[in-house]
Amino acid sequence: MPFDDPIIIIGAGPTGLTAALALGLAGLPVMVLEAEPGLTHDLRAGSFHPPTIEMLTALGVGDAMHATGIQVPIWQVRDRVEGVVAEFDLGLIADETPYPYRLHLEQHRLTPMLLDRLQEAAPTVEVRFNAPVESVAIEDDGVAVSVGGGEPAALRGSWVIGGDGARSVVRKAIGTSFDGFTWPERFLVASTTHDLGQHGFAGAGYIADPDDWAAVFKVPDEGPPGLWRIAYPTDPEIPEAEVLDQEAIQPRLAKILEHVPGKPDRFELKYASTYRVHQRVAGRFFQGRAIIAGDAAHINNPLGGFGLNGSVQDAVNLSAKLVEIWNGADAEPLLDLYDRQRRPINIKAVQAMSIRNKKMIEERDPEVRRQRLAELAETAKDPVKAKAYLMNSSMINSVREAASIT
């Protein structure tokens, strides 16, 4: 074995488990350390774009994802008052990908699929729960990782991958910045069993309004017809318990859907949670034997569904390079290439598109709003322009552009 110690991955989220699977399928020894007692179940990302579906299919979880996920070939931009403004059909990119749709599947349904696949096909990977990492020290020939919690341990890894989310201890060990900003509002995501499809909603939609803008997504439930997730902004000054109160959520949903014919008087709610949203990218993605990926490396608002996808794409890109390094290739140029392929693209594509999407649907100036929505409607109607738009929004262009950087 070229290295004495395993590759340590901190975090059993989508980034950590995807990297573990890619490395494990190549036969590399991996130890995943997860702070929580099991996989996390909170409401987070739930939309997979075509390149990410291709990558996860190559890792052997595509069938499971399709068995549970909902294929969404069309998405809409709507004005809260006037209804549908633009409709984009991913059928226009059917010659570019075998998966011309968004696959809606919440990440808490993906991570058990990744874990099952690890157990079935990657015997060199060990996943430890209840293993909160307290510190990481980067050494010349490896990393020292200190685990706290009920079973403290001092571990050595040949490399460490920080798949440990926005507050990454690995990013802190690298000592890099996490530049960007935090949006002032807090997002609330609520899911309802009321089927918005019956009111003409496509499986994914963005509702534009200066105050009551929202994102609407259909996601799988325990059985048909699925759940509808509605995310909208809330005032961060209002205590969380108050914004999460059913009686506060009902009027907000009623307002967002005020002009939808036939909407119910009351929505049956299944879940609700709130979260703060940031736009930040780390100053560098590696230092010596420590590397970051996913939310540890970059975070963005959810409008466009890029966070989870970018995280999986990082994990796949990085793992391929670590396999080469494990097999004798020079580490520094390959990790530098990982940084150059993934960092600028995140700033240029993910950060730019997610900020643009948010600004478009929350625009306060009626004239600017009218003009932006009219431009989008025109783009959606023209198949050439619509395809070009979809190549960006579905992340095909950014993945291809990253791959072309040598």
Interface with ligand FAD (CB under 6 A): 10-16, 33-36, 40, 44-45, 107, 132-133, 163-165, 169, 275, 294-296, 302, 305-308, 311
Give whichever of 71 and 377 is closer to ligand FAD, judged by the CB atom.
71
Give whichever of 191 and 369 is closer to ligand FAD, judged by the CB atom.
191
Give the DSSP H/E element, type plus range, for residue 9. strand 7-10
Give whichever of 10 and 122 is closer to ligand FAD, judged by the CB atom.
10
Give whichever of 293 and 376 is closer to ligand FAD, judged by the CB atom.
293
Q: Count other C-beta atoms under 10 Å from residue 61's C-beta.
A: 21
Residue 310 Cβ vs ligand FAD, minimum distance, rounded to whole Å:
7
Give whichever of 85 and 296 is closer to ligand FAD, judged by the CB atom.
296
Give whichever of 133 and 316 is closer to ligand FAD, judged by the CB atom.
133
Q: What CA–CA distance (Å, rounded) separates 100 from 336?
A: 32
Q: Give the start-end residues of each E strand in 39-114.
A: 47-48, 70-72, 74-79, 83-89, 102-104
Give whichever of 253 and 369 is closer to ligand FAD, judged by the CB atom.
253
Task: State the sign of the Cα–Cα–Cα–Cα dihedral 164, 166, 172, 178.
Answer: positive
Residue 366 Cβ vs ligand FAD, minimum distance, rounded to whole Å:
28
Residue 109 Cβ vs ligand FAD, minimum distance, rounded to whole Å:
13
> Measuring CA to CA, how many Å separate 334 from each of 248, 286, 320, 328, 354?
51, 11, 10, 11, 28
Are 252 and 232 within 8 A, CB to CB? yes
Are 135 and 142 within 8 A, CB to CB? no
The CB-side HSE value for 11 (13 A sphere, CA atoms) comes to: 26
Residue 299 Cβ vs ligand FAD, minimum distance, rounded to whole Å:
7
Residue 381 Cβ vs ligand FAD, minimum distance, rounded to whole Å:
27
Residue 28 Cβ vs ligand FAD, minimum distance, rounded to whole Å:
19
The one-character DSSP state at 94 is T
Residue 275 Cβ vs ligand FAD, minimum distance, rounded to whole Å:
3
Residue 362 Cβ vs ligand FAD, minimum distance, rounded to whole Å:
16
- The residue to which tokens 């693209």 are assigned: 345
Residue 24 Cβ vs ligand FAD, minimum distance, rounded to whole Å:
16
Q: Give the start-end residues of each E strand in 247-395.
A: 269-282, 286-287, 290-292, 298-299
Give whichever of 118 and 133 is closer to ligand FAD, judged by the CB atom.
133
Give whichever of 295 and 339 is closer to ligand FAD, judged by the CB atom.
295
* 293: alpha, beta or left? (left if phi > 0; alpha if psi -120 to 50): beta
Q: Which two tokens stand for residue 257?
A: 């859907």
Give whichever of 83 and 180 is closer to ligand FAD, judged by the CB atom.
180
- The residue to which tokens 């899911």 are assigned: 191
- DSSP-assigned letters across all residues of 116-177: HHHHHH-TTEEEESS--EEEEEEETTEEEEEE-TTS-EEEEESEEEE---TT-HHHHHHT--
Residue 229 Cβ vs ligand FAD, minimum distance, rounded to whole Å:
8
Q: For residue 25, which amino acid is it? A: L
